């Protein structure tokens, strides 16, 4: 399957409420070896948000610091997103991701 | 010594290369119609292009990434594609206008109808793209553009009452025959002529073509901080001489030869020949830039090998795109459409499309991962953010103004 | 490559420029291939997808994208080479762009580039002329 299948999938919480959609996917390099590259990337977690503009700009997650006004705006937008560790994902059928927690049980996205 | 020479050459090239058919037509038309009432817009536009180009050049020098790669990276492929389509369309309009400009400049000398010269012009443009090395190309046409100093010469020779000139420029007012809408519309046109996106696509891709690194940042700054303002001064002298010669006689600027008319009236044949040479070099250079920019945009969006820094056979799709664009431009101009009208649409739409490409550059020039320690300083960021606000407002106002004023009638 | 390294796929991998041997530009990362582990619990990134069909798929034209990729693979000289798929093994560096230990010829839309070169550009004199 493709990463783009996972991206923008609807995400539902434990109570069935919509948490938003998958805005980005965090990868960690601890999978099986793919030589000569090294360990493969494994899906570690999902950034679940509301498809707001600016998720790709890097204001929170990549240390882009200015200009001040843009940082305020985009950081505020990104703060609404939630991070879902892959272990908390109960099911994914290629269209919808079901998470075993409610929104208030999820943490914010950290760089 | 060699560095000084390089910097001087860069500055001269930037001055001569600053003006294209959009600047020629816009500054002359506005000067003839509004006298110096919109002169301040040129200043605002010049500061804008300085900010924009310096950031784009710095980003390209440090990270090796040109504008359109960043557009796709930071805005995503969907927005990036919409951006690409819009940019290509405006690029196409501009290229058509520049090709017409070259043909008209030649026609002013050859006494043949310009349409007959269009195919010849296009072949000439393409041969230069195909064979002339990038730096040489920039230098030849940039320096050739310095012949436009004939306008400045004519202005000085006219000997206006400078006190009056300064007063007019600093106290903008709207003439009785005009209204706030046409004033705003032509202001936007003037702004779009000064702060054109294709210039930045070209500038940024050019930095990668010439393999700029951190060491070239000083060169970047010199070109931009010295070259562009002097280019702006050239634009203003075109506006001023038009306001002094054409405006009193109520002559409007509807054709390219009318742009050069004041120089002929004030300073005679030789100065006119100089002006025509300058117009030829400026529009030819701009045609090269817009043609290549089309290739740069498409190539950078899709990740193809692009550029003149490799053999043509190693960037086949890039060169095909340039050829196709030039052919389309030729076809459009050969239909006999009014090249001044095409120019006007191209600069107005350029102004409207500015935020699309300006915004990613502003963000990336603040990204420490890309720029290391060369991110924007707070003062630059403040000015750059103001300009972002300004171009967003302009983008929103353009189409309504175009409709209200019936495209400046 | 550093073990345990973390990246955000959308922010740092997708839409990045691919650079092959000799600094040749070789397309962009249009999409990533994910394969489930044997126990089905984990997803691993096994390949980069770049070229015909991959971008169309990513932009939502799924059927068209799949079709284009299939047609392109069938049209290759050996009839089965899916050059849209670049195994992650050949990635050598991830930074502001992603470097590959391959020739540009072997990637993504290289065949389209080749076709254009052979059928259009080669016929124009001077196409092999070095730039400076």
Tell me which chains share at least 3 CB pairs under 8 Å with chain A. Answer: B, C
- CB < 8 Å from B in window 28-47 of C: 28, 30
Give the closest of B362, B369, B388 to A62, CB-based. B369
Q: Does B306 touch chain C (CB under 8 A)?
A: yes
A25, C9: Cβ pair inside 8 Å? Answer: yes
Kindly report the nearest CA distance between residue C92 and chain B, in angstroms.
18
Q: Quick check: C121 and B319 CB within 8 A?
A: yes
Shortest distance between the Cα of B380 and any Cα of chain A, in A, equals 9
Over residues C48-74, the mean pLDDT reads 88
Q: Where are the alpha helices (DSSP H) in B228-255?
A: 228-245
Output the average pLDDT for chain C. Answer: 87
Q: Report the pLDDT value the prediction gives residue B84, as an integer from 0 to 100.
A: 94
In sequence order, the β-bridge partners of residue A106 are none
State which residue of chain C sits closest to A42, comparing Cα positions.
C44
C12 to chain A nearest CA, in Å? 9
**In chain A, residues 51-70 whose CB comes closer than 8 Å to chain C:** 55-56, 58, 61-62
Rounded CA-CA distance B359/B90 in Å is 18
Q: What is the pLDDT, as a whole number, of residue C115?
A: 85
Give ipTM to 2 decimals: 0.92
Cβ-defined contact of C25 to B65 (cutoff 8 Å)? no
**Distance between C89 CA and the closest CA of chain A, angstroms:** 5
Contacting A residues, span 35-64, partner chain B, CB-CB under 8 Å: 56-59, 62-64
pLDDT score, position C79: 62
CB distance C131–B311 less than 8 Å? yes
Beta carbons of B278 and B144 less than 8 angstroms apart: yes
Using CB atoms, pick whichever of A3, A36, A38 lies closest to residue C32: A3
Q: Answer yes or no: is pLDDT of C1 > 60.
A: no
Q: What's the pLDDT tens digit per position in B243-272? A: 999 989 888 888 999 999 999 999 999 999
Give the Å distances, CA to CA, from B252 to A100, B70, C108. 72, 41, 54
How far apart are alpha carbons B234 and C120 in whole angstroms?
Answer: 42
* Residue given tokens 């995400």 in the structure block: A11
Please report the number of interchain residue pairs, chain A to chain B, with beta-carbon separation below 8 angstroms. Answer: 43
pLDDT range class, residue C71, cuts 50, 70, 90: confident
User: How far is C100 from chain A, CA to nearest CA, in Å?
Assistant: 10
Q: For A90, which residue in chain C has the nearest alpha carbon?
A: C41
Q: Which residues on chain C are in Cβ contact (under 8 Å) with A34?
A: 46, 87-89
Instruction: Please state the separation of Cα B159 from the chain's center in Å.
Output: 29
pLDDT beyond 60 at C132: no
**Digit-coded pLDDT (tens) for C34-53:** 999 888 889 999 999 998 78
Give the model's pLDDT for residue B43. Answer: 94
The closest CB to that of A56, out of B75, B384, B385, belongs to: B75
Residue B224 CA: distances (Å) to CA of B49, B196, B351: 8, 14, 20
pLDDT of residue B244: 92
Question: What integer pLDDT is reported at residue B223 of this predicted model?
Answer: 85
* Cross-chain Cβ contact B312/C112 below 8 Å: no
Reply yes or no on whether the pLDDT at C28 is more than 90.
yes
Given a contact cutoff of 8 angstroms between Cβ atoms, the answer to whether B322 and B129 are in contact is: yes
CA distances from C27 to A81, B24, B297, C19 (A): 31, 38, 14, 8
Interface test with A, best of C29, C42, C51, C84 (most A CBs within 10 A): C42
Confirm or reject contact between C93 and chain A (CB < 8 A).
Answer: no
**Which pLDDT belongs to residue A52?**
76
If contacts are CB pairs under 8 Å, which of residues 33-52 in chain A contact chain C?
A: 34-44, 47
Q: Who among C4, C8, C31 is closest to A29 (CB)?
A: C4
3-state secondary structure (DSSP) of residue B188: helix
Residue C81 has pLDDT above 80, yes or no: no
Place of tokens 């762009």: C97
The token duo for B24 is: 């020629």
Chains that touch C (3 or more CB pairs under 8 A): A, B
Which residue in the set C55, C59, C127 is minimally distant from B312, CB to CB? C127
Q: Identify the closest residue of chain B to C107 by CA–CA distance.
A: B304
Work out the minimum CA distance from B188 to partner chain A, whole angstroms: 25
Task: Tell me the three state secondary structure of residue A18.
Answer: strand
Neighbours of B242 (CB within 10 A): 29
pLDDT digits (tens, 9 = 90+) for B78-127: 999 999 999 999 999 999 999 999 999 999 999 899 999 999 999 999 99
**Residue spans of chain B under pLDDT 50:** none
Contact with chain B for residue A66, Cβ under 8 A: yes
User: In chain C, what residues touch A61 (CB-CB under 8 Å)?
Assistant: 8, 11
Q: Is A1 on the interface with C (CB under 8 A)?
A: yes
Task: Please give the residue of chain C at the shortest CA–CA distance from A3.
Answer: C32
How many beta-carbon contacts under 8 Å exist across B and C?
A: 87
The string over A73-89, giving b where at least 16 C-beta atoms fall within 10 Å of a residue's C-beta and e elsewhere, is ebeebbeebbbbebebb
SS3 B156: helix
Q: What is the pLDDT of residue B304?
A: 93
Q: What is the pLDDT of residues A30-87, one digit of tens each?
A: 989 988 999 999 999 999 998 877 888 888 888 888 799 999 998 888 888 899 999 9
B305 contacts in chain C (CB < 8 Å) = 24-26, 104, 113
Identify the pLDDT of residue B237.
94
| Interface membership of B314 toward C (CB under 8 Å) | yes
Position C78 confidence tier, pLDDT thresholds 50, 70, 90: low
pTM listed for this prediction: 0.92
Q: Which residues of C touch A5 (CB under 8 A)?
A: 34
Enumerate neighbours of B (3 or more CB pairs within 8 A): A, C
Radius of gyration of chain A (CA): 15
């Amino acid at each position: 399957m493709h990463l783009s299948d996972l991206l923008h999938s609807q995400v539902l919480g434990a109570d069935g409420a919509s948490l938003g959609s998958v805005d980005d996917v965090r990868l960690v390099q601890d999978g099986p070896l793919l030589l000569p590259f090294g360990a493969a990337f494994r899906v570690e977690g999902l950034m679940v948000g509301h498809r707001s503009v600016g998720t790709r700009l890097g204001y929170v997650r990549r240390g882009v610091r200015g200009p001040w006004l843009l940082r305020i705006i985009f950081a505020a937008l990104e703060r609404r997103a939630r991070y879902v560790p892959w272990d908390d994902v109960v099911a994914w059928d290629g269209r919808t991701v079901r998470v075993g927690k409610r929104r208030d049980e999820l943490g914010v996205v950290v760089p | 010594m060699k560095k000084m020479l390089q910097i001087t050459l860069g500055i001269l090239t930037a001055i001569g290369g600053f003006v294209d058919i959009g600047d020629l037509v816009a500054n002359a038309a506005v000067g003839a119609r509004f006298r110096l009432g919109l002169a301040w817009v040129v200043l605002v536009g010049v500061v804008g292009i300085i900010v924009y180009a310096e950031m784009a050049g710095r980003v390209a020098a440090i990270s090796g990434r040109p504008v359109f790669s960043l557009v796709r990276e930071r805005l995503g492929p969907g927005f990036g594609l919409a951006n690409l389509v819009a940019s290509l369309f405006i690029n196409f309009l501009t290229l058509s206008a520049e090709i017409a400009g070259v043909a008209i400049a030649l026609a002013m000398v050859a006494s043949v109808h310009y349409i007959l010269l269009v195919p010849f012009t296009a072949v000439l443009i393409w041969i230069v793209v195909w064979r002339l090395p990038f730096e040489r190309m920039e230098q030849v046409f940039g320096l050739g553009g310095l012949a436009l100093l004939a306008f400045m010469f004519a202005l000085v020779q006219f000997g206006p009452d400078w006190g009056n000139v300064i007063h007019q420029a600093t106290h903008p007012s709207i003439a009785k025959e005009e209204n706030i809408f046409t004033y705003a519309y032509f202001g936007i046109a003037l702004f779009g002529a000064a702060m054109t996106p294709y210039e930045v696509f070209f500038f940024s891709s050019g930095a990668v073509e010439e393999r700029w690194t951190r060491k070239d940042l000083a060169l970047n700054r010199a070109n931009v901080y010295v070259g562009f303002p002097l280019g702006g001064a050239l634009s203003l002298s075109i506006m001023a001489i038009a306001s002094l010669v054409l405006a009193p006689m109520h002559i409007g600027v509807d054709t390219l030869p009318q742009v050069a008319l004041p120089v002929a009236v004030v300073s005679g044949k030789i100065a006119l020949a100089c002006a025509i040479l300058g117009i030829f070099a400026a529009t030819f250079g701009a045609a090269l830039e817009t043609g290549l920019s089309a290739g740069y945009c498409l190539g950078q969006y899709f990740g193809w090998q692009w550029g003149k820094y490799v053999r043509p056979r190693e960037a086949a799709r890039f060169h095909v795109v340039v050829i196709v664009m030039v052919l389309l431009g030729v076809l459009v101009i050969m239909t006999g459409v009014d090249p001044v009208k095409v120019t006007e649409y191209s600069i107005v739409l350029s102004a409207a499309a500015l935020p699309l490409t300006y915004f990613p550059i502003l963000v990336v020039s603040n990204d420490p991962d890309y720029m290391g320690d060369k991110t924007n300083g707070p003062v630059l960021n403040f000015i750059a953010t103001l300009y972002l606000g300004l171009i967003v407002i302009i983008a929103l106002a353009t189409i309504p103004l175009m409709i209200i004023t019936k495209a400046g009638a | 490559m550093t073990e345990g390294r973390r990246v955000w796929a959308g922010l740092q991998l997708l839409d990045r420029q691919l650079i092959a041997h000799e600094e040749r530009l070789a397309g962009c990362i249009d999409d990533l291939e994910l394969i489930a582990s044997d126990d089905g619990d984990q997803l691993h990134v096994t390949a980069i997808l770049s070229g015909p069909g991959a971008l169309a798929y990513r932009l939502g034209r799924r059927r068209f994208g799949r079709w284009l990729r299939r047609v392109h693979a069938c049209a290759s000289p050996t009839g089965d080479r899916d050059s849209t798929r670049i195994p992650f093994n050949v990635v050598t560096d991830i930074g502001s762009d992603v470097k590959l230990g391959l020739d540009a010829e072997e990637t993504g839309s290289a065949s389209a580039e080749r076709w254009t070169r052979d059928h259009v550009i080669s016929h124009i004199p001077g196409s092999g002329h070095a730039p400076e």
